[in-house]
Amino acid sequence: MGGQADDIMPVDKPPKICEVPAKLVPVEVMPPLLAQPTPAAPPADGQPIHALSALILVAVDSLWAVFDWVPPVWIVAIPGCFAAVFIPTYLIQRHLKNDSRARALTFATILAVLAAIPTFVTGTPVGLGLLAWTGLGKLFGRTPPK
């Protein structure tokens, strides 16, 4: 420590840490995670509504142009429009979009209420906005370029 030459270790061979030889450990190789089957999950495309559900909303809501002139028919038309949107939307969201029951029921109820409002001014803009969001290309099987 005093700066003398005999305190310095020779550099010609590395110092030994331990005299005991290292153990060999067997390595287990696992298959990749993608090779394992995974349960069907809804695609994470960011669109909550299927394009067919939005198209049904627009189609049924446009019928109010005819019913708008005959208010006594509204007694039958309001529940009919509700059912005409609710049932297919629930089935589309549940089976094509793979949504849970609660989520499919929520979207079906919202779109059916919009279709049952006795004017075509409410559901059509919402339906067209949803169609623009989801893209009609998915309806015909085309995928957007990435």
Cα 146 from Cα 30, distance rounded (Å): 32
Question: Who wins on pLDDT, 132 or 41?
Answer: 132
Token readout for 76 is 């039958």
Predicted TM-score (pTM) of the model is 0.59
Cα distances (Å, whole numbers) of residue 85 to 33, 88, 117? 41, 6, 12
Q: Which amino acid is at 70?
A: V
DSSP assignment string, 14-33 = PPPS-SSPPPP---PPPPPG
Report the pLDDT value the prediction gives residue 145, as an integer from 0 to 100. 55
Q: Give the model's pLDDT for residue 70.
A: 79
Question: 26 is written with which tokens?
Answer: 């067997």
Q: Where are the domains of the chain?
A: 51-134
Q: What is the pLDDT of residue 85?
A: 93
pLDDT at 53 over 80: yes
